[in-house]
Amino acid sequence: MAQLQPVRGTHDLLPEQTRAHRRVTDCARDVALCYGFEEVSTPIFEFSQVFKRTLGDTSDIVTKEMYTFTDKGGDEVTLRPENTAGIARSFISEGLAQLTPLKVFYNGPMFRYERPQKGRLRQFHQIGVELIGVAQPQADIEVIACGARVLAELGVIELATLELNTLGDTESRTAYRTALVDYFSQYEADLSADSKERLVRNPLRILDSKNEGDRKIIADAPVFTDFLNTLSQDHFAAVREGLDALGIVYTLNPRLVRGLDYYCHTAFEFTTNALGAQGALIAGGRYDGLIGMMGGNETPGVGWAGGIERLALLGGDAPAAPRPIAVVPVGEEPQKIALELSETLRREGFRIDLAYSGNLSRRMKRANRLNVLAAVIIGEDEMARNAATVRHMDTGEQEEVPLASLPEYLARHR
């Protein structure tokens, strides 16, 4: 048991969990399609530069959480810790600028070297959308509405609250950042160790500190709204107006900050308190500087990512496994035609499970365990009559049906 265990923070997805994940991804994909997004996939690893350049040299992800290695050709590559950078890279290298506005949906594994907890894994899975090439607040609104809709369709919207903030444009944020550093520097000695770190790495993060001492200092810190220029204010106002018009409720959270450098203007997060400390279900925002930062033409973008494991945990029980129909041969000859019969029925679109071995009792037991809808029993007797006995497992009723009309019969009783 201890000898052969999965790598820390990774999980096997057995049928039940896979069904739970698929419910989330299928639902999200359907919703995203409604909003005009198309599904894409980018590679699971990229050159490390893709992430280093975009996520910020000081972000936790880059400094301590990336799975980075040198491949046999000497290239330094990294297992993707998130998918926005990969999409942006693809946008540039595939020349997708001519397709703007580009709307994509993705789903897949991400990797972060973190200390595992429930809802926090080293290999985890995300769904997400990106809307690239639209600077107008309509894009922010549409993207947020899409996220809200995914949660609603999953039936977890009641457990979530939408938190909203603006990070302003670069000009506003730089001014605010400077003011914050000035302010907190006065109290540097009283700040928690974490916050002293943050003072140099990401001063905005101090605002989010849970440390009590920090909280007192934070109470009198400069407020971002005082530093927002008109453009930033207008953008944020328009986003709020749009959400109001759509009836999407949100709470303003001035302390909502993004860990990644490329975000600006709208930042939002659908959070829950039903998962302990792992509260973020869907998080995203606007990243107008990202594509330019990577070397493409300046192109605005907005998007979000959602944690599949977290959404699946909240979503309750996995959907039931599909109920197949069992083909149960009894005897040598029937055994031979059972394979053929199974294939025929499968071609007709039925989900067929063949009872491989044992006496009839054993095979029926197995069929029962698979929760089959019906058992198609075929023995010497039936063969002689070119028929099969169909037993409906829920009622226990059974009926002999000519082989030729079996598909039609089963279709009626499906």
Partner RNA sequence: GUGGCUGUAGCUCAGUCGGUUAGAGCGCUAGAUUGUGGAUCUAGAGGUCGUGGGUUCAAUUCCCAUCAGCCACCCCA
Site for RNA in 87-146 (CB under 7 A): 112, 114-121, 124, 126
Supply 52's token pair.
């280093």
In angstroms, what is the minimal distance from the CB of 217 to RNA?
A: 14
Instruction: Give the footprint of RNA on residues 54-93 (CB under 7 A).
Output: 59-61, 65, 82
Q: Which of 27, 144, 305, 325 binds RNA (CB under 7 A)?
A: 305
Choice between 70 and 368, CB closer to RNA? 368
Choices 153-161, 177-185, 239-247, 378-386 (CB under 7 A): range interacting with RNA: 378-386
Q: Is 134 exposed, middle or buried (0-12, 13-18, 19+ CB in 10 A)?
A: buried
Choice between 95 and 358, CB closer to RNA? 358
Alpha-carbon distance 276 to 297, whole Å?
41
Which are the contacts of 362, defined by CB distance < 8 A and separation ≥ 6?
none
Task: Check the CA dihedral 84-90-92-96 and report its sign.
Answer: negative
What are φ and ψ of residue 58, in 5° steps? -105, -5
Query: DSSP secondary-structure letter at 65?
Result: I
Instruction: Determine, following the binding rule CB under 7 A, whether residue 412 of this chain makes contact with RNA.
Output: no
Q: Which of 271, 286, 300, 327 binds RNA (CB under 7 A)?
A: 271
Choice between 117 and 174, CB closer to RNA? 117
Supply 46's token pair.
């990229």
Choices 240-248, 279-287, 337-345, 347-355 (CB under 7 A): range interacting with RNA: 279-287
Choice between 13 and 360, CB closer to RNA? 360
Q: Which of 351, 365, 413, 414 binds RNA (CB under 7 A)?
A: 365
In angstroms, what is the minimal distance from the CB of 352 to RNA?
A: 17
Instruction: Determine, following the binding rule CB under 7 A, whether residue 333 of this chain makes contact with RNA.
Output: no
Alpha-carbon distance 275 to 404, whole Å?
54
Choice between 23 and 391, CB closer to RNA? 391
Instruction: Give the footprint of RNA on residues 307-326 (CB under 7 A).
Output: 307, 309-310
Q: Which of 40, 375, 401, 406 binds RNA (CB under 7 A)?
A: 375
**Which of 133, 151, 329 has the alpha carbon at shortest distance from 249?**
151
What are φ and ψ of residue 281, in 5° steps? -95, -50
Choices 45-53, 167-175, 206-214, 347-355 (CB under 7 A): range interacting with RNA: 206-214
Q: Which of 17, 211, 225, 335 binds RNA (CB under 7 A)?
A: 211
Instruction: Determine, following the binding rule CB under 7 A, whether residue 52 of this chain makes contact with RNA.
Output: no
* Count of residues touching RNA (by CB under 7 A): 72
Choice between 88 and 260, CB closer to RNA? 260
In angstroms, what is the minimal distance from the CB of 72 to RNA?
A: 26
What are φ and ψ of residue 288, in 5° steps? -65, -25
Supply 278's token pair.
């792992």
In angstroms, what is the minimal distance from the CB of 119 to RNA?
A: 6
Which are the contacts of 387, defined by CB distance < 8 A and separation ≥ 6?
400, 401, 402, 403
Choice between 97 and 274, CB closer to RNA? 274
Alpha-carbon distance 41 to 414, whole Å?
36
3-state secondary structure of 60: helix
In angstroms, what is the minimal distance from the CB of 28 to RNA?
A: 12
Query: DSSP secondary-structure letter at 302?
Result: E
Instruction: Give the footprint of RNA on residues 152-191 (CB under 7 A).
Output: none
Choice between 25 and 209, CB closer to RNA? 209
Contact of 117 with 279, CB cutoff 8 Å? no
In angstroms, what is the minimal distance from the CB of 191 to RNA?
A: 12
Q: Which of 21, 29, 103, 198 binds RNA (CB under 7 A)?
A: 198
The β-bridge relationship of strands 38-39 and 251-252 is unpaired
**Which of 335, 358, 353 has the alpha carbon at shortest distance from 393?**
353
Q: Which of 40, 146, 326, 393 binds RNA (CB under 7 A)?
A: 393
Instruction: Give the footprint of RNA on residues 245-264 (CB under 7 A).
Output: 257-260
Choice between 97 and 280, CB closer to RNA? 280
**Which of 115, 112, 64 has the alpha carbon at shortest distance from 305?**
112
At what angle are helices 84-93 and 48-55 packed, to 10 degrees? 110
**Which of 42, 46, 108 has the alpha carbon at shortest distance from 71?**
46
- Pattern 10-29, RNA, x by CB under 7 A: --------------------
At what angle are helices 406-413 and 332-347 packed, to 10 degrees? 60
